[in-house]
Amino acid sequence: MSASLESLMRQGRAAVLRPLAQASTLPPAFYTSPEIFEAETARVFARNWVSVGRASEIPNAGDRFRIDVAGEPLLIVRGKDGEVRALSAVCRHRWMLLGTGVESSGTISCPYHKWTYALDGSLMAAPLMEKAEEFEHKDCALPAFGCDVWNGFIFVNLSGDAAPLARSLAPLAAEFAPWKMDEMEIVGQIEFDQPYNWKVLVDNFMEAYHHFAIHPETFEPNYPAAISHAEETSAPFAVLRMPREGNGLSDSLFKPLDGIPDRARRGFSVFNVYPSMLLAVLADSVVWYRMEIAGVAHFKLTVYLLAHPQSLDVPDVETLKTFLREGTFAVHMEDIAACDGVQKGLMSGAARAGRLSHLEGAIHEHQKWLLGELGRA
């Protein structure tokens, strides 16, 4: 660890590693420093399970999509055996990228020299390589990375030594079971190009303290900031509960499944599955924020809107899907104004670590975890 990084880590620990009532945020450099971002890439995103898509996006053999995780270009592929795999998207010949978006075919072909791979990554054909001595197809398979499907979400692990996903998320699996998330459909997607640090969005998503200022009409009347509360989880995720004003039933667009607990019908909860999987779980739907982090102050955000097929058995469902999409878009546009302002403020020479409210416990939990990961050898 470099001297400058070690100095930043000392500042971070001094600010964050205290009881919530005494704690501050991570210092601004944790949001702006290229060195911190490089450390996050290597020690956080390359080591931990990262959510990259929904299994329903690649339902058939040969279906696949491209995504980068911690700077590693990946192909997420459904094999002929039905398994979902995370393969390197870099050709084993001269490093051309394989794939550009969502595709489907029985093989994976390099556009540069037509080296062709099977859906499990093994090399099938390499044209005009017969004069290359001791050239063996078996030595040129695409590397595969850790890949698992949990509640219908595809996760990737680049390190190969992360704890099993299902074991680490067992408490969440129990809570999410009534929603049958693995059966949910994508009922809408919204994409944003975001010019700020990924943690700015995480912090914003995981507190309702800003509701009365940023969402005075969309959230505050029904889900007031003052009655929100975070839970201490001692687990690789954070939880924020947002009860409905007066403990009333929340309004639902779709039909909640039988078995959804009463608490979930009288409010909603948001989760950060570390490092950066953001979920809003409502009685009748789930909203997932997927971040493709490209730099210290840039990421692509795809908002997935999910609902169970049985929940969609309501009149005028297409209109309701549109309403959900437009409402989600409007709320995030309100949040963008806040996040953009925070990013500009972080660049100020006057910026310092800010004290945390009791309503910001989920931020505190995440930042403690993040410091632990950054400090891990």
What is the per-residue pLDDT across 12-67, written as a single tens digit (0 to 9) for each?
A: 999 999 999 999 999 999 999 999 999 999 999 999 999 999 999 999 999 999 99
Q: Answer whether residue 167 is part of any domain.
A: no
Tell me the per-residue pLDDT of 130-162, one tens digit each, with 9 for 90 and over: 999 999 999 999 999 999 999 999 999 999 888
Sign of the torsion angle spanned by Cα atoms 10, 12, 18, 24: positive
CA distance 181 to 349: 45
Q: Answer whether residue 168 is part of any domain.
A: no
- Quote the number of domains for the chain: 2
120 exposure class (CB count in 10 Å sphere: 0-12, 13-18, 19+) = middle
Tell me the per-residue pLDDT of 183-231, one tens digit each, with 9 for 90 and over: 999 999 999 999 999 999 999 999 999 999 999 999 999 999 999 999 9
Are 202 and 83 within one domain? no
Tell me the per-residue pLDDT of 313-366, one tens digit each, with 9 for 90 and over: 999 999 999 999 999 999 999 999 999 999 999 999 999 999 999 999 999 999
Question: Contact 220/252 with Cβ under 8 angstroms?
Answer: no
Tell me the per-residue pLDDT of 241-262, one tens digit each, with 9 for 90 and over: 999 999 999 999 999 999 999 9
Tell me the per-residue pLDDT of 105-136, one tens digit each, with 9 for 90 and over: 999 999 999 999 999 999 999 999 999 999 99
Q: Answer whether residue 273 is part of any domain.
A: yes
Are 227 and 337 within one domain? yes
- pLDDT-derived band at 100 (thresholds 50, 70, 90) equals confident
Are 222 and 291 within one domain? yes
Q: Answer whether residue 263 is part of any domain.
A: yes
Tokens of 55: 């299994």
Q: What is the CATH number of the domain that holds 316?
A: 3.90.380.10
Are 202 and 321 within one domain? yes
Are 21 and 143 within one domain? no
What pLDDT is stored for residue 218 in this prediction?
Answer: 93
Tokens of 168: 């680490």
User: Residue 73's beta-bridge partner residues?
Assistant: 68
Q: Which domain holds residue 241?
A: 3-48+173-374
Which DSSP helix (H) or strand (E) runs through 9?
helix 3-16
Are 336 and 288 within one domain? yes
Are 121 and 183 within one domain? no
Are 188 and 148 within one domain? no
What pLDDT is stored for residue 232 in this prediction?
Answer: 87
What pLDDT is stored for residue 146 in this prediction?
Answer: 97
Q: What is the mean pLDDT of residues 85-100?
A: 96
Q: Give the end of a domain, one of 133, 161, 189.
A: 161
Q: Cis link prior to 224 (omega < 30° from 0)?
A: no
Mean pLDDT across the chain, nearest whole number? 96
CA distance 93 to 4: 39
What residues contact residue 144 under an 8 Å CB cut-off, 6+ apart?
A: 85, 86, 87, 88, 120, 121
Are 252 and 351 within one domain? yes
Are 108 and 224 within one domain? no
CA distance 201 to 285: 21
Q: Give the end of a domain, one of 114, 140, 161.
A: 161
pLDDT tops 90 at residue 234: no
Are 122 and 255 within one domain? no
Q: Give the end of a domain, one of 137, 161, 185.
A: 161
Q: What is the CATH number of the domain that holds 152?
A: 2.102.10.10
What pLDDT is stored for residue 1 in this prediction?
Answer: 61
